[in-house]
Amino acid sequence: MSRIYIDKTAQVDDSVSIGDGTKIWANTQIRERVVIGKNVTIGRNVYVGPGVIVGDNVKIQNNALIYEPAKIEFGCFIGPGVILTNDKYPKAVNYDGSVRMERDWDKAGVIVKKNASIGAGAVCIAPLIIGEGSMVGAGSIVTKDVPEGTLVLGNPAKGQGKVRT
Split at pLDDT 50, 70, 90, the class of 89 is: confident
pLDDT of residue 30: 98
* Whether residue 90 has a cis bond before it, omega within 30° of 0: no
For the stretch 31-64, pLDDT in tens is 999 999 999 999 999 999 999 999 999 999 999 9
Given a cut of 90, whether residue 18 has pLDDT beyond it is: yes
Given a cut of 90, whether residue 25 has pLDDT beyond it is: yes
Rounded-to-integer distance, Cα 126 and Cα 136, Å: 15
The answer to whether the CB of 12 falls within 8 A of the CB of 26 is: no
Q: Which domains does the chain have, with CATH numbers?
A: 5-162 (2.160.10.10)
Split at pLDDT 50, 70, 90, the class of 1 is: low
Q: Residue 161 forms beta bridges with which residues?
A: 151
pLDDT of residue 164: 78
The answer to whether the CB of 62 falls within 8 A of the CB of 82 is: no
Query: What's the farthest any 2 CA atoms get from each other in the chain?
Result: 55
